[in-house]
Structure 1
Amino acid sequence: MDDGFRGTDLDDLMRHLDTTGRVEFGRVLARQAEAGRPVACAVVNPFMPWAVDVAADAGVPSAVLWVQSCTVFSLYHHHVHGLVEFPPEDDVEARVELPGLPPLAVADVPSFLLPSNPFKLLADAIITQFRTIDKGVLGVRQLLHRAGTRRGGGAGRRDDDAAPARSSSPWARSSTWGPTSSRRQTTGGVRGDLIKAADECVEWLNAQAAVLRGAGRSLGGAGPTRGPLLPAGFLDAVAEGRGMVVPWSPQERVLAHASTACFLTHCGWNSTLETLAAGVPVVAFPQWGDQCTDAKFLVDQLRVGVRLRAKPLGRDAVSGRPWRRSWAGQEAEEMRANARRWSAAARAAVAPGGSSDKHVQAFVDEVRRRACGEETAPADEAKVSTTD
């Protein structure tokens, strides 16, 4: 489905998706119905709330695939519905307190909820999704198995098979869908990269003893970069064997490699899931969005890494104590042990009968039942798992 957009401005892209996407997505649903292959369920991204409206107008049930953490979902939910007061952005001492979560500083809250957020249209898209989420018949959210707290529960509480929900809240139709892969499954042929990954970096890793894996994924624009991102001579320097720079790496394979000792990450949710599944400690360097919340949990709750706060990040910060803590000493050993435990939890989740395995299959079964016109359990009897 080519929307015809050739621009590079993110705001223009979001506006174009809204106007053109509605029309084109409606045509896709109509073509499928006319061909005798009607869509049984539209699984939509939270950044495209209009897709729920289009599906509803076509009589197609929809489900929101929440692609951030359960903690972030809770923060948006409480903010949109005015259930908790968020302190001023400049109040460094204030804390946001929600049921089942540790106190969060303003800096730990998703930046899309702060007045200084420069990505207004992205924030508006997510907030609109929360206001229209009940238009969808099914509620699917990708949440990380056990990576935090449950409503009203303690930190780290296991709740793979929570009791049936007796609530009309969005939680009543939620299920955990994460992680959906583990480090033992990273060599398969199913990948979602939009850019061809540089698989040769895995060969380079084979010759290394231990490396720091760094990644920086940005949302700077919809098209190619307009200028060099690295200083002059940098690529020549790393070509001498000190490192390797590639446009896009097969991240899961790199994280699963035995030579990868640590991961410098912006703490996006995909990277957070992948590093926990791989059992690799992190150096957290969040920038915006949900990354700040993810970094808070990786460092303070899950205890699998350290955090860099210096901006801009200079040589002194890189060579300083926080960096060294991730590599050597008793604290580093504890981080590695914690990372291994989370990796084991990830493997258990995706194994036959694990939480992710069961919940994905339950969703597929419900879609099939609805497509066949069979009765389904009412929302207030749905089994949920609201771990983060």
Structure 2
Amino acid sequence: MKKKLAAFCLTTAILLTALAGCATATPAGPQVLKFGIAVPLSGPAAGWGIAIQEILQFRIDEINSAGGLTVDGQNYVWELVSYDSQYMPTETVTAVQRLLDSDQVHFVGILGAENLLPAQPLTEAAGAILWGWAAANQEYVGPEHPLTFMYAPDAELTAVVYEYLATYNGVRRVISLQPDDTVGQAHSEFANFAAPLAGVELVAEEFVDVRSVTDFYPVLTPLLDMELDLLDVSQCPPGVVGQIIAQARELGYAGPVYSAAADMPTLIEMAGWEALEGYYTIPYLTDLTPAQQEFQAGFIERYGEDHWVGSLAFTVYDTMTVFSEAIVGAQSLDTTEIAEYMADMTIESVWGAGGGYFTGSKYYGIDRIYMTPLPLGVARGGEMVQLAVLEYPSGILSDQ
């Protein structure tokens, strides 16, 4: 798919602001653009939610300190508004309603597909752009939902992970243990689509209530009695992944485990490095771009190393860059115009020049999945090691 580079980048916006200051007329003061998030700040997915909140605030402070963004001669700065969703659909809906009604936001971020689904009608009715940190599904991603975007390929990562592990680790038989909710079903749909393409068999699929269950021994015991090469828990929240890994090791399973978007501090706390041996995740990288190095150092200086969730931080960091470049590039605050511009742009990402773009039209009928490089990492000898940067197979999300 041929992408166009964003016509206006943030540095251009800053330059325009500076030039405007040289004009005779006194420019108006900056106005506020609000980005509202409903993420878990408590509960089993709090590691994700707190990280998202801190990373977004860090990036917003950078953008605002650099002059914000300029649209039609008016300067704007970002403000982050966040509420605790507790990783529960009802709490998420309440938070989103408050964001739209009381806080008057036009850009909303939600963690978790089960939480996103009931809130989506609210954002669509308000004409707000919805950014999901969640696994995509054709039920809520498609041409009929043009204002909904996903932060990255999520369930779709099975296509590259299964293929890599089948090729280099001899994985043939996979057991999937996922949340008993919308995100788990989204994963199941895509995993069953991707597994045959990778020459992998999904031997069994089980779904559990990740919001209340902490004892996974009853479900793990019969699963681990089967012959398997990989335990896929990719859509479970970090606290649950840590519990599952620890309990699976206690039951004698020594094989590889895979999950997406790892929150490493939580996993280390819940399972420990010995149990994490052979744990695979995307994204994980050690060969950082200069922009990634600068962001990581600044974030750790502000929040502490124990708040650094790993390479997932880079994808979250891009969120505000995407919105800012789209607004400046479209020279509009109309969310429909911004969404159309976003879908066709390639951004100056923290991953490097041209490091982020939207895809998905072949599978979802619309380009709404944010794609960046896909570095695969594994836990070995008490540390994470980057294995490879994977290429997403052509012909699945797009024809390229």
TM-score range, shorter chain: under 0.3
Q: Which structure would you say has the larger RCO, counting Cα contacts within 8 Å and 6 or more residues apart?
A: 1
Output the TM-score relative to the length of structure 1.
0.24
**Structure with greater strand share of residues:** 2
